[in-house]
Structure 1
Amino acid sequence: MRGQLVGRDEEVSRLVALLGDAASPALLLRGETGLGKTALLDELAAAADGFRVVRCAGAEAERDLAFAGLHQLLFPLLPGAAGLDPGHRAAIEAAFTGTAGATPQVMALGIAVLDLLTLVSAGAPLLLVVDDGQWLDVPSAQVLAFTARRLGGTAVRVAVAVRAEVPSALDGAGLRELLLEPLDEPSAARLLDLQRAGLSPYRRNLILRTAAGNPLALIELPRAEEVLDTGAIALPRRLERVYGARLRGLAAGERGELLRAALDGAGAGVARRAGAVRYRMGGVGGAVEAGLLAPDPATGEPVFRHPLVRSAVVQAATPNERRAAHADLAMLHRDSPERRAVHLAAATVDPDDGVAAALEEAAVSATRRGGAATAVTWLTRAAELSRRSADRSRRLADAAFVAGQAGLLDVAQDLAEDAAADGPAAVINAGFVALYRDGEVAANHRRISALVESGIDDDQLRERALTLLLAISRFAADPVRWARTDALFDRYGDRVGPSTAIARDAWGDLVGRGHGVPERIAEVLAGPAPVAPWDVMRLAVSAFYLGALGDHRALLRRTVEREAESGAVTSVMTLLQMVMQDQIGTGAWAEAEQTGRRGLDLTGEHGYALFAHSFRAFLGLLAAYRGDLDRARELQAAVDAWGRPRSVGFLTEYAEAIGAAAALSEGDYETAYAYAAGITAPGGFARYSQQAVRTLLDLVEAAVHTGRHEAARAHAEAARDAGLPALSPRLALLTAGALAITAGQDEAGALYAAAVAHPAGAAFPFELARIRLAYGAWLRRARELTLARQALTEAAGAFDRLGAATWAERARTELRAAGRPTRADRDAVAALTAQERQIAELAATGLSNREIGARLFLSPRTVGAHLYKVFPKLGITSRASLRDALGTD
């Protein structure tokens, strides 16, 4: 220990205990300015015997520089990370350098940092100490919180100090906290006496009353010429005035040195990247003598004694002095686009196209490195400094677009409104907000269609408008609107980007335009150019509609992890829907439920009502498959009630699909047919309806079970003739099943055998199990009982594994009818009394009640009473089912 702090024994003890706590290895030290957070961190570092200690300090001047804080923390560790996974090293380097094509986000970068810390701490335990955490840039704070929550069981410890009165990105991070309180009266008096003995009673009491237990005030106020006891001035401001009084005694040149260092975030006393340009103070002996600076124990360089000194330096400077200092720093950082832009912007008052361009360049760099919020700030400032209205509009449009992609709908809407008088960008961004927040499709489609029709010269704006038009049309699911969208796309022809063109073909007239789309998706993803997250989103949705999502599963999930917290959150919401749909399709239903709940949380947090109801639609369909009919219908009603008044056909079709699936689950085929036929008429597939092809098997099965055999056959043949099997493996499986279910007696066997052996069956277990169930029932009716039992056993097992309870029970009912007892049957038989079992076995041989009574010396009436109890126990209703229920030959 360096030395015992006055009145802080308990806090020091709790901090030092962190070193031995592997279960909860991170601690957030929260306290008001001047309560001694830095001193406590010093005590912790001194007590960390055997630990490698790495320190970092946030600086207000660097709060808008993405990953500046993380850079401080990690760069000393990188030389010892030779064994770091190459992908993780690339993620860290991309965050620090803005490598083209790499856009690491919180989750991916957090995992990379976790890997680095674990690797480095293998040789010796590691203590990370972060002071002034409230000034960390947002991406750094998010990565730090993500990593700190996952360090349990490692040899890494983390202590972070933040000011209680300043909002921080670490607020709500879920870290264990230690709240630092002012010193009690005896401790405060002791500290004051240690600093300045012999004070008059009046001055001593005045300082104690003014300091109110704040250690920094107890140290600094006795050195001030006056205590500043007049007026209701907050203590930090009083201390800034104390430091300001000392500053006035310095020469102008020395004050300038301190100002440039303060504005550059220098003088924090922490390690920096080798070769990094940083302002170095010179000729500041007077400031050291005045107690404003102190030598750093590690380097000997002068550093600010306390963050309040840095704040006082900035506050004491005039606006012209601050702008001049920023101009000097912009020259210093001329090789660093982001730092140069920050200082240029602060040094500039009047519109300046050069500064605006520098800020725009910095925003591109920040976006590449995951600093979306920072990019929005810089693009907005670039717009303010633009001389031409067109440049202002474009930069505001870019800011609104980035804000929208980052899930900041309120910010996006405000920026769009600011640009309203300057061009089409405002219409596009307002349409984006209106669609995802309010589900507005009708008026929105009219506005965006008119905008596209009027002609947009800017290629980027035109692509955004066409993409938005596709999204509106997709959710509208209306043939009239889609027809206008198609006409506008035809007008632009080859000028439409490849991802947008693919989305047009897959999201709209899938049957007519979807052939060859899976190959086009693979080609774009395999190309040399990096694919933006919003392009990955569009391609993933396209792959889903074609049943080819499994081909890109790794990319899909990797993009979600990378972008989830501070990146393209809008794209993440859609990608999470695709992850959920993939999980439903592959039979991972428990995981799909979790993904759906995660999606609801995310959409609720950002106000995306349209996406929230989309997740409810998927959860409703999943509940219907599982046989949780009450929940399915509750979600169906919620989706329909929100979507139908807004003409969101995407949602109303999902509500119909939920109704069909729920009715099929409980065997209500007439209701199922009504729902399925409402989506598309038998014998054809409604254009621009995604559910028309997805509910192929639902419509065919419902039609067969309600005696509509001609309609069922016509629909199956329409699927074949429309080329659905060539569109995707899933549609090929559904078509094969539909043709088998509707086939005549002579050809059904071969078609069923081909359907259950279809290579796509393994990827879509629910659909395959449904076809097996239908096949088993057909075999039973054909008296092929051995084959029927095999098919039905496989179907029942698949439904059980999926959790499709009502479907599994239907398969077991068919199994009993095919002469094989199920596990439920055996349990029921075992529950019979000895006499009930004996009577049931005799009845199964065909003996009458009188004949059974004669053998067992019972009256026929008694035999009948026993059978009356046996039937419900075995789940049967007649003597004819006894043989199958008992499993007798």
Structure 2
Amino acid sequence: MAGDQLRGRRRERETLDRLLRDVRSGQSRVLVLRGEAGVGKTALLDYLVEQARAGRVVAAAGVEPETELAYSALQQVCAPLLGHLDRLPEPQRDALATAFGLSAGRPPEALIVGLAVLGLLAEAATERPLLCVVDDAQWLDRMSEVVLVFVARRLDAESVALVFAARDPGTPPDPLGGLPELRVGGLPDADARALLDSVLPGPIDARVRDRILAETRGNPLALLELPRDLTPAELAFGFGVPTTTPLQDRVEDGFRRRIAALPGDTRRLLLAAAVEPIGDVPLLWRAAAVLGIAPAAAVPAETAGLVEFGARVGFRHPLVRSAAWRAADPAELRAVHAALAEVTDAEQDPDRRAWHRAHAAVGPNEEVAAELERSADRALARGGRAAAAAFLERAAELTLDSATRAARTLAAAQARFASGAFGAVPGLLSAAEMGPLDPVQRAVAERLRARVAFAVNAGRAAVSPLLEAAARLAELDPAAARETFVSAIGAALNAGRFGIDDLGRAVDAAAAATAGDNARPAGPGAGDDPAGRVLAALIAWHRGGHVAAVPLFRRALDAITPDRDLDLLWLGGLFVHEVWDDEQFLDRNERAVAFARESGNRSLLPTALTFRATALIFAGRFADASDLIDEAEALARVTGPSPHPAAAALLAAHRGRADTAAHHDRADTAAHHDRGDTATGLIDALAADAEAGGMGWLLAVARHSQAVLHNGLGNYPAALAASSAATDHENLAVLQWGLTELVEAAARAGEPAVAAKARDRLAEHTAAVDTAWARGTQALADALAGPAADADGNYRRAVAEFATTRLDLQLARARLLYGEWLRRHDRRADARAQLRPAHDAFSTMGAEGFADRAGRELLATGETIRKRSAPGVPEELTPQEAQIARLAAAGRTNPEIGAVLFLSPRTVEWHLRKIFAKLGVTSRRELRSSARPDGERAPRDGRPPRST
């Protein structure tokens, strides 16, 4: 459509023209055209396509009847670009081929498919700029939506424009939320009047014109269509009954009336075109022949301006399709589906054929149900879990045999759970249990119900349903019972102070199931699998305390692996703290992140990234930790599961910026704007959410974070109050963190008795293990709260022990405390020897509060403090550039960096060119040989930097 045919759209055209200029200059752009039905979004897309004719254009559209068919819209986007498929890395190439049914393979995860599509668009754009337009995005199938939004959030420098048109979002969340948006409103008054006058058949009462203009609010489609429903008397004199019907419904009703006035064969042809979603004209004519409809039946619909039958079927507007579909008689609709099923190739398009046959069926039909079940299997093989669930639910409805019906409903429940639609699972399970389920199926149902309970609410509310499910599973599936008992205890651990009785109840139930006697064998808790070992450790910890549980914690850790025991990883992360093993602390979550990246596991990756970020905080690698938290939150916006909220609060606390904006960028969500980006704001928000949700463990993390923040700032009374609150309940891992802060806060606040008591409590945990982390922690506590005569030796031991670990943050804090003690004992030269490396380390990390505290002590010794440019990275590099520079310096290739950061290799190369220019280097070799881009010191043993 030419630009001069778009009335009143100057602002919109300028925005679209600017978007194309940016893309032609080598940048990528994303835009969502947002507005009500009929407001002109499709016309603007048409204008954009016409203006982009010198480049390459691919297009897709969501279609309401296709929302359950996995990747249906994505295939429209990618099909013209598959000639570039061979340029992708093999894992991405295989994932995309499997998702599109081009080859068999392991079901791909959405993140791998998303990265493959990102690479495919980037490769296609190397020849000429690429424009991808997606109309009616509100009707995208779930998998296409996930992948396209993922790609939209990662485009950067590929010469790709991705433009969506979507109606205003309904119930939250909005999948397109946070993407750049252009609001498309009604036409200005003068243009609206001109458009209305162009379709009026004759004179019109001025008051009627004003009423039409007011009711349509400048909506072009409504201006063109609503006058058709007014009689000459209504137009001339204003007679008629005012209506409050929503504008979209009135326009669709108008289309419905126009369709109803068509000849019967024309209506049926229009219905067939509405039900056939891809506009395949030959297929439509074959279906028309089956229905006994002659080609001439198309003429009245085209004459009425409702549809065009060209190379493809083109409706006047999606509301015409909706009107034809929704107004159809059920019997007529079934006949159309039957005809389309008959002419759809069973080899080339078996799933769409099965879908048509399913909607043509009147009652139970085992042949069609079995065909749907096979379609579900194919959907699962392609990663389309939501589509598989839809196929299975319809298959169950068509199944007469009660046992088979129950089995298919149970399989549908499993697919819904796997797709993340937890709310649909309980109803499906109840329906499945109405039919006869064998013992194995009952075990599956119980286990699934338990998993839903934990996924929806991993706190106190989940304990009772999990225990009930575990008890029922005990005889059906002992391994599943063990896993469910672990989940029940885990939910009680999450509840913390809010679920003290629940923890005891869960442990007692698990212990009773575990115990055996002479009359019967040991129960489900006695297994030697990972869940059984975790369960034994948790029972021992609750009943016998830390010392009794340490050997069992180690035994459980030996069994938990990142690539198999995904549901146990979070407990493994807590157990590592209980055994004070810094090597496992850093290595295990690194392996979990690597596995999640390689497998594309979108449910695991955000959590794995935040666990890894926590470990990197302890290692003093704040820049890397911040990058991972940002990545986890970006992924969560696309893939669904929210990242663990503790890491961001911990990082903010250690950065020590109480009253200034944190480095961690949360400006993309309104909620974070409202709460503020200061450390205090993040921690307070975490505490409020934890209290509201009854999550005592997270509340302890919030209090601990407050203690860290205030210790760093030297506000010891506040740190004392916060650390006391963090340690008044036995929380795994957090209790040990809190006790270390409590010893320091109490000692500095002039509360030696409180400090000594905390030191003794800490000793109960450190004495049971023999690691440098435990020895260093206890030596530091003894130096702060033990006999004064032993303080010097204890400080030296603490520094020496931490120097053998990878916990650079703890080493710097030990040096700071020792330096402060030395300065107060007038040993200024010795104090400077500790305070200088502490100050440098804190400054490099970005721990501003602790750096300032060390700086004040250095000044007191007579030292001059050198100002540093910025913590963590040079000022010239953006956070993303710094992360790319770190990975490039570590020897990663562009495709490897792209896979880590979910960027296209072309974008990585573009960033590296800017990085080289900013740092004054010309190659990766120079980058590696120059100072580390993040300012982090090299590992003491000379090993290359570990990956994140």
TM-score computed with the length of structure 1 as normaliser: 0.68
1:581 partner letter: T
1:60 paired with 2:64, answer yes
Aligned partner of 2:352 in structure 1 is 339
Structure 1's 240 and 659: CA in aligned 2 closer, same or farther, altered over 3 A? closer
CA RMSD of aligned residues (A): 5.9
- Alpha-carbon distance in 1 for matches of 2:149, 2:722: 52
Q: Secondary structure at the match of 1:65?
A: coil
Q: Secondary structure at the match of 1:821?
A: coil
Pick the aligned partner of 2:277 from 255, 265, 271: 265
1:662 Cα deviation from its structure 2 partner: 6.2
Structure 1 contact 587–766 (Cα < 8 Å) conserved:
yes
1:427 Cα deviation from its structure 2 partner: 7.2
Aligned partner of 1:650 in structure 2 is 697
Aligned partner of 2:80 in structure 1 is 76
Aligned partner of 2:49 in structure 1 is 45
Structure 1 contact 756–772 (Cα < 8 Å) conserved:
yes
Pick the aligned partner of 2:768 from 722, 746, 768: 722
Q: Secondary structure at the match of 1:53?
A: strand
1:629 Cα deviation from its structure 2 partner: 11
Q: What is the correspondence of 1:304-703 to structure 2 with a 5 Å cutoff?
A: 307=318, 310-311=321-322, 313-315=324-326, 317-327=328-338, 329=340, 332=344, 334=346, 338-340=351-353, 342-348=355-361, 350=363, 362=375, 366=379, 371=384, 373-374=386-387, 377-378=390-391, 380-381=393-394, 384=397, 410-411=423-424, 440-441=459-460, 444-454=462-472, 455=474, 457=476, 462=481, 465-476=484-495, 480=504, 481-488=506-513, 491=522, 500-501=531-532, 503-504=534-535, 509=541, 511-522=550-561, 525=563, 534=567, 547=582, 548-553=584-589, 556-557=592-593, 568=603, 574-575=607-608, 577-589=610-622, 615=645, 619=649, 623=653, 626=656, 628=658, 650-651=697-698, 653-654=700-701, 657=704, 661=708, 665=712, 666=714, 668=716, 672=720, 679=727, 689-695=732-738, 697-698=740-741
Structure 2 contact 744–755 (Cα < 8 Å) conserved:
no
Aligned partner of 1:273 in structure 2 is none
Q: Secondary structure at the match of 1:289?
A: helix
Structure 1 contact 326–346 (Cα < 8 Å) conserved:
yes
- Alpha-carbon distance in 1 for matches of 2:275, 2:587: 51
- Alpha-carbon distance in 2 for matches of 1:636, 1:318: 58
1:451 Cα deviation from its structure 2 partner: 3.5
Structure 1 contact 27–178 (Cα < 8 Å) conserved:
no
2:863 partner letter: P
Q: Gaps (5+ residues) in structure 2? A: 235-239, 244-248, 436-441, 516-521, 542-548, 661-677, 868-948
1:407 Cα deviation from its structure 2 partner: 5.9
1:357 Cα deviation from its structure 2 partner: 6.2
- Alpha-carbon distance in 2 for matches of 1:605, 1:147: 10
Q: What is the correspondence of 1:819-830 to structure 2 with a 5 Å cutoff?
A: 819-823=861-865
Aligned partner of 1:764 in structure 2 is 807
Structure 2 contact 340–356 (Cα < 8 Å) conserved:
yes
Structure 1 contact 28–178 (Cα < 8 Å) conserved:
no
2:278 partner letter: A
After TM superposition, the structure 1 stretch with the greater mean CA deviation from structure 2, 341-350 or 220-229, is 220-229
1:45 partner letter: V
2:253 partner letter: R
**Deviation digits for residues 810-838 of structure 1 (CA, Å, limit 9, x no counterpart):** 54566567x5535299xxxxxxxxxxxxx
Structure 1 contact 379–395 (Cα < 8 Å) conserved:
yes
Q: Secondary structure at the match of 2:614?
A: helix
- Alpha-carbon distance in 1 for matches of 2:855, 2:364: 77
1:581 Cα deviation from its structure 2 partner: 1.9
Structure 1's 328 and 588: CA in aligned 2 closer, same or farther, altered over 3 A? farther
Q: Secondary structure at the match of 1:75?
A: helix
Q: Secondary structure at the match of 2:59?
A: strand
**Deviation digits for residues 291-345 of structure 1 (CA, Å, limit 9, x no counterpart):** 4498776xx4666565455445545643234334435555646556753553354
Structure 1's 736 and 324: CA in aligned 2 closer, same or farther, altered over 3 A? farther
Structure 1's 184 and 621: CA in aligned 2 closer, same or farther, altered over 3 A? closer
Pick the aligned partner of 2:124 from 92, 99, 120: 120
Pick the aligned partner of 2:842 from 796, 799, 804: 799
Aligned partner of 1:879 in structure 2 is none
2:63 partner letter: A
Q: Gaps (5+ residues) in structure 1? A: 193-198, 271-276, 526-530, 826-889
1:718 Cα deviation from its structure 2 partner: 5.3
Equivalent residue pairs, number? 783
Structure 1's 799 and 421: CA in aligned 2 closer, same or farther, altered over 3 A? farther
- Alpha-carbon distance in 1 for matches of 2:554, 2:818: 30
Structure 1's 310 and 560: CA in aligned 2 closer, same or farther, altered over 3 A? same
Structure 1's 176 and 539: CA in aligned 2 closer, same or farther, altered over 3 A? farther
Pick the aligned partner of 1:147 from 140, 146, 151: 151
Aligned partner of 1:184 in structure 2 is 192
The structure number with the bigger radius of gyration is 1
Structure 1's 620 and 758: CA in aligned 2 closer, same or farther, altered over 3 A? closer
Structure 1's 596 and 34: CA in aligned 2 closer, same or farther, altered over 3 A? closer
Aligned partner of 1:867 in structure 2 is none
Aligned partner of 2:296 in structure 1 is 286
Structure 1's 334 and 762: CA in aligned 2 closer, same or farther, altered over 3 A? farther
TM-score computed with the length of structure 2 as normaliser: 0.65
- Alpha-carbon distance in 2 for matches of 1:145, 1:824: 46
Q: Secondary structure at the match of 1:769?
A: helix
Structure 1 contact 676–698 (Cα < 8 Å) conserved:
no
1:263 Cα deviation from its structure 2 partner: 2.4
1:130 Cα deviation from its structure 2 partner: 3.2
Structure 1 contact 29–161 (Cα < 8 Å) conserved:
yes
Pick the aligned partner of 2:109 from 66, 80, 104: 104
- Alpha-carbon distance in 2 for matches of 1:32, 1:542: 53
**Deviation digits for residues 104-124 of structure 1 (CA, Å, limit 9, x no counterpart):** 33x654444333222211211
Structure 2 contact 560–572 (Cα < 8 Å) conserved:
yes
1:242 partner letter: R
- Alpha-carbon distance in 2 for matches of 1:3, 1:652: 57
Q: What is the correspondence of 1:729-748 to structure 2 with a 5 Å cutoff?
A: 730-731=773-774, 734=777
**Deviation digits for residues 490-521 of structure 1 (CA, Å, limit 9, x no counterpart):** 75559969554465467674523122555544
After TM superposition, the structure 1 stretch with the greater mean CA deviation from structure 2, 765-774 or 398-407, is 398-407
**Deviation digits for residues 363-407 of structure 1 (CA, Å, limit 9, x no counterpart):** 565566565554555555555556577776776666666666766
- Identity, in percent, stands at 29
2:56 partner letter: R
Structure 1's 518 and 599: CA in aligned 2 closer, same or farther, altered over 3 A? same
1:69 Cα deviation from its structure 2 partner: 0.6
1:766 Cα deviation from its structure 2 partner: 1.8
Structure 1's 160 and 421: CA in aligned 2 closer, same or farther, altered over 3 A? same
Structure 1 contact 32–165 (Cα < 8 Å) conserved:
no
Structure 1 contact 221–227 (Cα < 8 Å) conserved:
no
Structure 1's 62 and 659: CA in aligned 2 closer, same or farther, altered over 3 A? closer
- Alpha-carbon distance in 1 for matches of 2:857, 2:422: 53
Structure 2 contact 776–797 (Cα < 8 Å) conserved:
no
Q: Secondary structure at the match of 1:184?
A: helix
Structure 1's 295 and 322: CA in aligned 2 closer, same or farther, altered over 3 A? closer
After TM superposition, the structure 1 stretch with the greater mean CA deviation from structure 2, 667-676 or 40-49, is 667-676
Structure 2 contact 41–184 (Cα < 8 Å) conserved:
no
Structure 2 contact 268–336 (Cα < 8 Å) conserved:
yes
**Deviation digits for residues 418-475 of structure 1 (CA, Å, limit 9, x no counterpart):** 779787888767766766766752x753443343234352689647634532422432
Structure 1's 140 and 541: CA in aligned 2 closer, same or farther, altered over 3 A? farther
Q: Secondary structure at the match of 1:71?
A: helix
**Deviation digits for residues 694-740 of structure 1 (CA, Å, limit 9, x no counterpart):** 45645666798837999788777755652352xxx755754676688
1:59 partner letter: V
